[in-house]
Amino acid sequence: MEDQGKAYWSATLGLLGKILAVWFVFSFGTGILFVEAMNSISLGGYPLGFWFAHQGSIYIFIALIFYYGKAMGDLDRKFDVHEE
Amino acid sequence: MDLQTMTYLVVGASFALYIGIAIWARAGSTSEFYAAGGSVHPITNGMATAADWMSAASFISMAGLIANMGYGGGLFLMGWTGGYVLLAMLLAPYLRKFGKFTVPQFIGDRFYSQGASTVAVICLLTASITYIIGQMTGVGVAFSRFLGVSSDTGIYMGMAIVFAYAVFGGMKGITYTQVAQYIVLILAYTVPAVFISLQLTGNAIPQLGLGSDISGTDMALLTKLDQVVTDLGFGQYTTTTAGSKLNMFVYTMSLMIGTAGLPHVIMRFFTVAKVSDARSSAGWALIFIALLYTTAPAVGAMAKLNLHGTVNTAVGLETAADGTMKVNPEIVKARADVYATEASLVYEQRPEWMKRWEKTGLLKFEDKNGDGRIQYYNDKTKNADAQAKMDAAGWKGNELTVNADIIVLANPEIALLPNWVIALVAAGGLAAALSTAAGLLMAISAAVSHDLVKGVFVPDISEKNELLAGKIAMAVAIVISGYLGLNPPGFAAGTVALAFGIAAGSLFPAIMMGIFSKKMNKEGAMAGMLAGLFVVLFYVFAHKGIFFIKGTDFVDMIGGPNSFFGITPEAFGAIGALVNFGVAFIVDKMTKEPPPHIQAMVEAVRIPRGAKAVDGAH
């Protein structure tokens, strides 16, 4: 049970790390740090970097939270710690 | 029906709705009062969280800020939404599992120290009260502009309404009124945006319209906007940032961490039934928030183009026979000469909405070159080419000043939308301010009655008396915030930075370490919170004066404004958080680890199984 708990927690941290990496790349990365390079690409009438800063990052945030909710639910069941 | 009657009708109907809901959702127990009985559906909670979160600033000011800042305004969009990812993954589910009413109670229990809880209460009260002043002044402004009553009367009315549904309904009443308020405010925001997007691009969805070509041309709206504003001496819309790239980075991070650490938002996640609901509820909250936040950049950019098009015919917009704005594709394509004498609008021929807003003083015209026409441009431009053309055209300085708050409020008038839309915008602005004020009052009331009265002074208080203390605390908080709204301290604007700075620099790191660092002890956490709080206060006070008192700023002593790598005081919360984490870990290493039962508690918080209804037991 002790080991099971440790394994669950390290799986959780692994998932959080991956999601935070995507979170960082598509807001701070494409929206701020590399915005000039991204702006050389167009998305319809949007320069891509501008789109990430004003639109795209928000859509990605939403997707990340729902993905997190689903992936955590799977982890909960896999390690048998889910709510009854 | 005339506009005034229509506004009374729509705003009055929305208020009747809120009060009706409050009567239906009266709270009978402390659990209902603080956490709505822990039985709110995740989607309902998401919608209430969205209304709670989106304040008068989001509704009224943000699009105008973005219109002025261009690309750099994205820091508000990313900062105020990205925090929900942190909240959903790092805080909300674990705090829900912990199962207590308030943020200070978590900090006090986890760090087995009343001192830690008291520091958290102080941080919470400072952040919430500074935040609420802005809401109250927002209510006053909205009332006075739309209902024709004085700003003071507006604040009294706002106080009475909030009192009615927050004091009697508690969290349960607030939750369901916030749902109604969300619906009102999102309709009020998106309906005008759809009309304007249709007028300019033919696309009914503003988020797509902003990336579309202008009607009848193959020129992208943003390309045209870039052209117009650079011709007029402003920075290019799609690339301009206010400060350095580092500052934008740190500012965005501060808003994200601050968002996740604001107690009135965190508290909303105590109202759902399960840990898994807390996770999904954050996602729903962000969907409802995103509806407004992804519309705002379209509103900002299109209103900016509309405004320039109104006063300069060379932009390529013209007034149709029915008074609405209409694109003239030939002029748009030709990049007509904005400096031509006849391009500038003759002042006497200005549209009705400009006359109306001139009366409020938020729009001002001053004919500097005496030609009877309006020249609206950047007279401090660094663009030598544009400067030469302005000089050649005989322009003697910018003649039109436009308050950024007009952008959203005047939007339906600029586009000549029907009266019910204008009335709806008034109701929406009020809904945004009132819903946020109610959420903040709830956080204040819970901190005072639950964490101070019950936690510190009268531990054996009965549930009935605690409920009474909560209601009294809320009534007192309404009076104080109303007073501060009526007599706004000159520093109202500067304090919002402080609210986010405190939430980011002290509360967020403490809660996060409480969950993710099992060995973090009370010495470390308290030293961290105090250090984070101190550096934020130090930097903000250095720029804006000690407790915002004029003349007590000491910015020269720290080497001039923004001396810390060019970071502005508004953006300093993330630095405070870094200091907090650093100090906490160093102190933690030098002191003894937390007792075994606390470590066991952290392990229990980390797994969802066994989540029970929230309660207030200390």
For B459-489, write each residue's pLDDT tens digit: 888 888 888 888 898 888 888 888 877 776 5
Kindly state whether residues B402 and B420 are assigned to the same domain. no
Query: Is residue B268 in a domain?
Result: yes
Interface touch A64/B207, C-beta < 8 Å: no
CA distances from B309 to A83, B225, B306, B405 (A): 58, 10, 5, 19
Output the pLDDT for position B618: 63
Answer yes or no: are the C-beta atoms of A81 and B605 closer than 8 Å: no
Interface touch A62/B290, C-beta < 8 Å: yes
Query: Is residue B531 in a domain?
Result: no
Interface touch B211/A43, C-beta < 8 Å: yes
Å between A37 CA and nearest CA of chain B: 12
Interface touch A62/B253, C-beta < 8 Å: no
DSSP-assigned letter for residue B272: B
Kindly state whether residues B391 and B417 are assigned to the same domain. no
Interface touch A16/B89, C-beta < 8 Å: yes
- Minimal Cα distance from B275: which residue of A? A83
Query: Is residue A13 in a domain?
Result: yes
Say whether A43 sits in a helix, a strand or coil.
strand
Cα(B435)–Cα(B313) distance, integer angstroms: 41
Give the one of A12, A58, A84 whose C-beta lies nearest to B290's C-beta.
A58
Cα(B422)–Cα(B416) distance, integer angstroms: 9
Kindly state whether residues B428 and B352 are assigned to the same domain. no
Choosing from B341, B375, B407, the residue where a domain stops is B407
Output the pLDDT for position B489: 59
Kindly state whether residues B83 and B211 are assigned to the same domain. yes
Contacts of A45 in chain B (CB under 8 A): 210-213, 220-223
Output the pLDDT for position B494: 57
Kindly state whether residues B300 and B311 are assigned to the same domain. no
Kindly state whether residues B250 and B343 are assigned to the same domain. no
Contacts of B74 in chain A (CB under 8 A): 31, 50, 53-54
- Minimal Cα distance from B247: which residue of A? A32
Give the one of A32, A50, A54 whose C-beta lies nearest to B252's C-beta.
A32
The reply to whether A25 touches chain B by the CB within 8 Å rule is: no
Contact residues for A17 (Cβ-Cβ < 8 A; gap 6+): none
Interface touch A84/B609, C-beta < 8 Å: yes
- Minimal Cα distance from B86: which residue of A? A20
Interface touch A54/B287, C-beta < 8 Å: no
Is residue A81's pLDDT more than 70?
yes
Interface touch B78/A27, C-beta < 8 Å: yes
Query: Is residue B185 in a domain?
Result: yes
- Minimal Cα distance from B295: which residue of A? A55
Query: Is residue B604 in a domain?
Result: no
Cα(B237)–Cα(B301) distance, integer angstroms: 8
**Residues in chain B, total:** 618
pLDDT band at A2 (very low <50, low <70, confident <90, very high): low
Answer yes or no: are the C-beta atoms of B427 and B10 closer than 8 Å: yes
Output the pLDDT for position B220: 94
Say whether B325 sits in a helix, a strand or coil.
strand
Give kind and range of the element (H or E) at residue B402.
Answer: strand B400-402
The reply to whether A28 touches chain B by the CB within 8 Å rule is: yes
Cα(B30)–Cα(B465) distance, integer angstroms: 10
The reply to whether A7 touches chain B by the CB within 8 Å rule is: no
Query: Is residue A17 in a domain?
Result: yes
Interface touch B77/A33, C-beta < 8 Å: no
The reply to whether A37 touches chain B by the CB within 8 Å rule is: no
Number of domains in chain A: 1
The reply to whether A24 touches chain B by the CB within 8 Å rule is: no
User: Which residues between 90 and 149 in chain B have a beta carbon less than 8 angstroms from any beta carbon of chain A?
Assistant: 90, 93
Choosing from B407, B427, B459, the residue where a domain stops is B407
CA distances from B402 to B49, B339, B358, B405, B561 (A): 32, 20, 9, 8, 27
Kindly state whether residues B311 and B300 are assigned to the same domain. no
Return the residue in B71, B90, B219, B295 with the most chain A beta carbons within 10 A, the one to mutate for interface testing.
B71
Give the one of B93, B253, B608 whose C-beta lies nearest to A82's C-beta.
B608
Return the residue in A19, A65, A79 with the most chain B beta carbons within 10 A, the one to mutate for interface testing.
A65
Amino acid at B398: N
Query: Is residue A57 in a domain?
Result: yes
Say whether B564 sits in a helix, a strand or coil.
coil
The reply to whether A5 touches chain B by the CB within 8 Å rule is: yes
Kindly state whether residues B482 and B374 are assigned to the same domain. no
From B47, B46, B42, select the one nearest B182 (Cα to Cα).
B47
Interface touch B609/A59, C-beta < 8 Å: no
Kindly state whether residues B282 and B338 are assigned to the same domain. no
Å between A54 CA and nearest CA of chain B: 5
Please state, as a whole number, how many other Cβ atoms lie within 10 Å of the Cβ of residue B2.
Answer: 7
Query: Is residue A68 in a domain?
Result: yes
Amino acid at B345: L
Kindly state whether residues B429 and B403 are assigned to the same domain. no
Residue A23 belongs to what domain range? 8-78
Query: Is residue B506 in a domain?
Result: no
CATH number at residue B482: 1.20.1730.10
From B537, B542, B562, B560, select the one nearest B552 (Cα to Cα).
B542
Give the one of B88, B207, B221 whose C-beta lies nearest to A55's C-beta.
B207
Output the pLDDT for position B37: 76
Question: Per-residue DSSP letters for B339-374?
Answer: TSGGGBEEGGG--HHHHHHHHHTSEEE--TTSSSEE
Output the pLDDT for position B205: 97
From B586, B438, B558, B457, select the one nearest B49 (Cα to Cα).
B438
Choosing from B486, B504, B538, the residue where a domain stops is B486
Contacts of B71 in chain A (CB under 8 A): 35, 50, 53-54
Return the residue in A4, A18, A32 with the most chain B beta carbons within 10 A, the one to mutate for interface testing.
A32
Output the pLDDT for position A1: 52
CA distances from B392 to A66, B337, B387, B507 (A): 57, 13, 9, 57
Tokens representing B558? 């720290």
The reply to whether B89 touches chain A by the CB within 8 Å rule is: yes
Low-confidence ranges of chain B (pLDDT < 50): none
Query: Is residue A62 in a domain?
Result: yes
Contacts of A48 in chain B (CB under 8 A): none
Kindly state whether residues B398 and B465 are assigned to the same domain. no
Query: Is residue B420 in a domain?
Result: yes
Contact residues for B405 (Cβ-Cβ < 8 A; gap 6+): B60, B61, B64, B141, B362
The reply to whether A43 touches chain B by the CB within 8 Å rule is: yes
Q: How far is CA B207 from the centre of its chain?
A: 20
The reply to whether A46 touches chain B by the CB within 8 Å rule is: yes
Query: Is residue A74 in a domain?
Result: yes
Number of Cα atoms under 13 Å in the Cβ half of residue B205: 6
Kindly state whether residues B71 and B165 are assigned to the same domain. yes
Amino acid at A36: E
Query: Is residue A3 in a domain?
Result: no
- Minimal Cα distance from B253: which residue of A? A28
For A8-55, write each residue's pLDDT tens digit: 999 999 999 999 999 999 999 999 999 999 999 999 999 999 999 999
Answer yes or no: are the C-beta atoms of B142 and B64 closer than 8 Å: no
From B71, B493, B506, B78, select the one nearest B251 (Cα to Cα).
B78
From B85, B105, B97, select the one nearest B607 (Cα to Cα).
B97
Say whether B327 sits in a helix, a strand or coil.
strand
Residue B340 belongs to what domain range? 306-407
Interface touch A46/B608, C-beta < 8 Å: no
From B10, B9, B6, B21, select the one nearest B180 (Cα to Cα).
B21
Pairing of strands B363-365, B373-374: unpaired
Query: Is residue A72 in a domain?
Result: yes
The reply to whether B222 touches chain A by the CB within 8 Å rule is: yes
At which residue do the structure tokens 């030709």 appear? B334
Provide the number of CB pairs (under 8 Å) joining chain A to chain B.
144
Output the pLDDT for position B488: 64
Please state, as a whole number, how many other Cβ atoms lie within 10 Å of the Cβ of residue B518.
Answer: 18
Cα(A52)–Cα(B561) distance, integer angstroms: 30
Pairing of strands B345-346, B373-374: antiparallel
Contact residues for B72 (Cβ-Cβ < 8 A; gap 6+): B240, B241, B242, B243, B248
Query: Is residue B441 in a domain?
Result: yes
Interface touch B608/A81, C-beta < 8 Å: yes
The reply to whether A14 touches chain B by the CB within 8 Å rule is: no
Contacts of B84 in chain A (CB under 8 A): 61, 65
**Reduced 3-state DSSP string for B217-262:** CCCEHHHHHHHHHHHCCCCCCCCCCCCCHHHHHHHHHHHHHHHHHC
DSSP-assigned letter for residue B560: S
Query: Is residue B356 in a domain?
Result: yes
ipTM of the complex as predicted: 0.96
Number of domains in chain B: 2
